[in-house]
Amino acid sequence: MAALHHLVLPHRLLSGHGPPPGLGLVAARDLPRGEVVAEVPKKLWLDADAVAASDLGRVCGSGGDLRPWVSVSLLILREAARGGDSLWAPYLAILPRQTDSTIFWSEEELLEIQGTQLLSTTMGVKEYVQSEFDNVEAEIINANKDLFPGTITFDDFLWAFGVLRSRVFPELRGDKLALIPFADLINHNGDITSKESCWEIKGKGFLGRDTVFSLRTPTEVKSGEQIYVQYDLDKSNAELALDYGFTEANSSRDSYTLTLEISESDPFYEDKLDIAELNGMGETAYFDVVLGESLPPQMITYLRLLCLGGTDAFLLEALFRNKVWEHLELPVSRDNEESICQVIQNACKSALAAYHTTIEEDEELLEREDLQSRQQIAIEVRVGEKKVLEQINDIFKEREQELDDLEYYQERRLKDLGFIGDNGDIIFWES
């Protein structure tokens, strides 16, 4: 069993930070920062190696046939069906059947995030999980009734996916996915802002041959207090809602992803795509705009490329290919700059029109004391997105008012050639 240091584990909580009340880790004595509080040996991890060592190994292939999360999800379902005979029975027995993650919301609850990017992301994730389930249901679950004698539904598979999504430490996702029992009971606290990792995988025992997951306190903890970590400083509220089922009243968590794309119908499509690729970008670019922060680097540069045309199209010629991105980092022409302002303002207005409430209405709702947790998540996500959209719109509206004061490519070029002085006056030479 996992080695637990100075802890009451599990401990049912009546209140907590971030996630709703549930299980967590509580200190049985005062703990300094960096104290090891739990060590979980590799044999208890739920990962690809555990799948291979189980009776699922023969049907899940060598590990390359299925995505790691799919095979580990099947292992969770297989072990849950075994009940008390499973090595992981004590752990599986305490896992919640649902969280407030939006993947578990009803159709009526999802109406509360109408118009948000979170809604489209949630539906996309569920469609992806459904597709994977359809594959394994036919090829593995139904074909191996000795391993899955009971009925395994999509909801069961979605639950296992949700377990992994909400409980796997961020750095242990992807190909090296591993669910660490009991260590994953530790809860999140937004007050912890250190990016320093609070865990490590290390060798232990004779010659360090035994691999363990070691969890440490990121801050000092008093006896009787819950031990917290920071799940991920870089996640937006929408991502927190999707992965864990909670949000934070923190403006740095409010963001909106602008998706910009070079249209295939653009007469200069090939040239623009080539320029984008030469500068580490592609046909589609995603820019995360955070409330209260500056626009992402290269966003305006990419926008200028998208809107380039007319008398400015000469910059797309091969002659300028190695220098054009540098030129686009500064205003090209009044027409081009006006175009990017209008494109973004129109996009923001269209996005804002898709929400069924205003910012003011949402802020009034947040003052109510009878909000259910999922209602609060929905309101905080949608009001955050709308504030960011208004911020973006205001930036480009203000920029549009300054168009006459900007210096454009032709003026900079004439200055470089000595035809215009620094004050903008034309220089004449007397014979």
| Residues acting as catalytic residues | 231
Task: Kindly list the strands in the beta sheet with 36-41, ordered across the sheet, starting from the edge strand earlier in the chain.
Answer: 3-4, 36-41, 210-216, 199-204
Query: Rounded to the nearest 5 degrees, what angle is found at the Cα of 2, between the Cα atoms of 198 and 220?
Result: 35
Beta bridge partners of 228: 187
CA distances, 346 to each of 336, 349, 352, 359 (Å): 15, 5, 10, 19
Three-state SS string over the chain comes to CCEECCEEEEEECCCCCCCCCCEEEEECCCECCCCEEEEEEHHHCEEHHHHHHCCCCCCCCCCCCCCHHHHHHHHHHHHHHHHHHCCCHHHHCCCCCCCCCHHHCCHHHHHHHCCCHHHHHHHHHHHHHHHHHHHHHHHHHCCCCCCCCCCCCHHHHHHHHHHHHHHCCHHHCHHHCEECCCHHHCEECCCCCCCCCCEEEEEECHHHCEEEEEEECCCCECCCCEEEECCCCCCCHHHHHHHCCCCCCCHHHCEEEEEEECCCCCCCHHHHHHHHHHCCCCCEEEEEEECCCCCCCCHHHHHHHHHCCHHHHHHHCHHHCCCHHHHHCCCCCHHHHHHHHHHHHHHHHHHHCCCCCCHHHHHHHHCCCCCCHHHHHHHHHHHHHHHHHHHHHHHHHHHHHCHHHCCCHHHHHHHHCCCECCCCCECCCCC
Contact 218, 190 (CB under 8 A): no
Give 341's contacts (C-beta < 8 A, 6+ positions apart).
Answer: 396, 397, 399, 400, 403
